[in-house]
Amino acid sequence: MHVLGIVGAGATTLCDRLAAQLDGRVATVESLPESATEPESTDSAAAAYGLSPDGNWVGTGDDRDLDGLLDDLSAEYDYALLSGFPDARVPTVALAGAEAANVVAEAETAGAADVASLAAEIDSHEPHITLETLVERAKADPLEVYAGAIATFTGRVRAKESEDDDPTLSLEFEKYDGVAESKMAAISAELEERDGVLRVLMHHRVGVIGDGEDIVFVVVLAGHRREAFRTVEDGIDRLKDEVPIFKKETTTDEEFWVHDR
């Protein structure tokens, strides 16, 4: 699921304009003022959510933070447009000079924004993908009628390897655009040639990922559990050995690129 934030006066209006331009299912998420009881109507979106100042979701959804909601939406929607979340760790459009953590485009007003360019912009950024996203893709695969097993692997940021280690605060991952994705696709295609293996899905996140957060996912759809488990293990081993992804570690005492060590 691709995510774009919009901040500043007219953010909800621009969300509506942009939703109409996107090819796929769109959910909108709005930061609500104190007096609001529901999100503004967004006719071009498939779903609309609102987060109130006290942390409760208004309209559709249970109590959870923004990241938790995006995790839930990622398995069902192609796009999520966020209105009024300047601190969100997502690419963001700033209107009328509004400030945000990750500004990728600016416009004076919602009406002046080039929605065609923004529709292309949102597709150029790293998608929001979770383990559940890949599992749902596997279940929707045309070959799932032959599957008796789905095996998964999730890699996460480990704070310590031993009691005396300096705690790891975060890991930062970088990859060559297109190269890492092409290599993961090639590994998946080779593993899918095995007898009984129907589909192999992989995703590795980039950017700064904090202690305890998920980094990488491998999902295997297979006829039986043995080939599913074996292929999951081989898949993550090959991803770590063959895919060009670079890792910087930040501990409580230092910061370093792991390949330099």
For residue 9, pLDDT beyond 70: yes
Separation between Cα atoms, residue 31 and residue 69, nearest integer Å: 13
Q: Which residue has the higher pLDDT, 215 or 39?
A: 215
On whether both 139 and 177 belong to a single domain, the answer is yes
Q: Which amino acid is at 140?
A: A
| Owning domain of residue 201 | 131-260
How many domains does the chain contain in total? 2
Q: What is the pLDDT of residue 61?
A: 47
Q: What is the pLDDT of residue 140?
A: 93
For residue 252, pLDDT beyond 90: no
pLDDT in tens, 169-194: 999 999 887 899 999 999 999 999 99
Average pLDDT over the chain reads 88
Q: What is the pLDDT of residue 230?
A: 98
Q: Which residue has the higher pLDDT, 89 or 218?
A: 218
Q: Which residue has the higher pLDDT, 155 or 43?
A: 155
On whether both 135 and 256 belong to a single domain, the answer is yes
Handedness of CA 183, 203, 234, 237 (dihedral sign): positive
pLDDT in tens, 17-52: 999 999 999 988 888 765 555 555 555 666 666 666
DSSP 226: H
Residue after which a domain boundary falls, among 123, 153, 183: 123
On whether both 82 and 182 belong to a single domain, the answer is no
- Nearest Cα neighbor of 50 from 25, 29, 68, 80 is 29
Q: Which residue has the higher pLDDT, 165 or 123?
A: 123
Question: What average pLDDT does this structure show over 87-99?
Answer: 93
On whether both 145 and 40 belong to a single domain, the answer is no
pLDDT in tens, 57-73: 554 444 567 888 888 88
Separation between Cα atoms, residue 159 and residue 212, nearest integer Å: 7
CATH of the domain at 23: 3.40.50
Residue after which a domain boundary falls, among 123, 154, 186: 123
